Structure 1
Amino acid sequence: MIPILYLVLPTLGIYIMLSIFFLRRPHLLHTAWAPTFPICLAAHRGGSGERLENTMEAIKNSMAQRADILELDCQLTRDGVVVVSHDKNLSRQSGLNKDVDSLDFKELPLYKEELEIYFSPGHFAHGSDRHMIRLEDVFQKFPRMPTIVEIKEKNEELIHKVANLARSFDRSEITIWASEKNSIMKKCKAANPEMPTAFTILRSIWILLLYYLGLLPFVSIPEKFFFCFLPTIINRTYFPFPCGWMNQLSAVVTKWIIMRKSLIQHLRDRGVQVLFWCLNEESDFEVAFNLGASGVMTDFPTALRHYLDKKEEPRAPASST
């Protein structure tokens, strides 16, 4: 037993030192890659805290705040139109208890006059524009605006239509595939491999496991975006579980697991942009950027723009006495 320990312990020590060394110097193992469009301000659902979500008015408002990227969800209508809509069922958004794919585009209802902001419970968004829009409308009006397109269901027609829209507007490199599920992401990548991808839930868990095992520096990372919730918003503005104690426990556990500066820095050094969602308060912006995040996804682009501009303000020189 003792001779084995003499062999195992030095080997383990060397492995740990090498892991830490390459975690901090990934350029020695991997080709450096710089983002073509760095992101600080990502507008969630087009900026759903200041105007009605996913409307052209919300997107224009976010553009006025110099948003770096839009985050949009897509559904497919009965007549094959890709529309920007978070929900498949229209009850929450419009009060009509029908699915998007059961209606033609011209039959889609208006949004309600006010919508509760999901990540700011008790607060409501309003706007003069209540129309649902096509993804094509967004690409046509803002052809060079980077956009995250989240696909929620394994709908191959929807996936191929999004892929073809990105190609036809010559914007594959600035249109990002996002999905929670590996099976959907696989189909997205096959439909348009030129579009960058974000981590799925399973891939995110896998990356965290590799990080804690010390193996992360030695594996390839094809994804270019890591969208992650900020654990400190759990049980405050984000309630993933119906029970309070489960939310409290998940906040503690995920805070310990995810909030690691060395992990975030390593991903960024590997060319992965790390964005925390969905943050709507200045204190949360501060936490995210102090952790080393590339950017923040928010419902309130104006609030985040004010925060970013304030951080960039040059400090007045100290007066001499």
Structure 2
Amino acid sequence: MCAAVYIVSTVTGYVLTSALLLKCPTLLHWRKRERFLSRHISHRGGAAENLENTMTAFKHAVDIGTDMLELDCHLTKDEQVVVSHDANLKRVCGVDAKISDLAYACYSLLMRKALFQHLTARGIQVYIWVLNDEEDFRRAFDLGATGVMTDFPTRLKEFMDRNGISKPQ
């Protein structure tokens, strides 16, 4: 009988305390002051208005007053962060490969002529950086890059002059 009273009183006390704290949580914790409220959130920077997860999309969303940018990140095999909604590159690049299975340095898989043509057709300029040798310059321009950023501007100018790549008018 004594043990039963002890168990019933303990369980009753637990249930009543739990119910009280559920209804009045500030008895244990002060309500935190909300410093930031977000009402306007741009999914992937505004995926229907710009190419998703790009600085152009993010800048546009910020310019029109969005409170928050949503984006998804994945880790490559060598633990580099890549901004991409999909874990697989099929939809955005036409390559059936998981980001987590690829090394970040495997950019040749991401730089595809079809992707550059798709972007260019949408009026999006494609700049590649930082390329510093002729093989990379050639590959970028062959794929359809609008421009190349380099640490060696003289080397790039000489390459462009030799290969008849002119400045835009």
Relative to the length of structure 1, the TM-score reads 0.29
Structure of larger gyration radius: 2
Instruction: Report which structure shows greater RCO (CA 8 Å, sep ≥6).
Output: 1
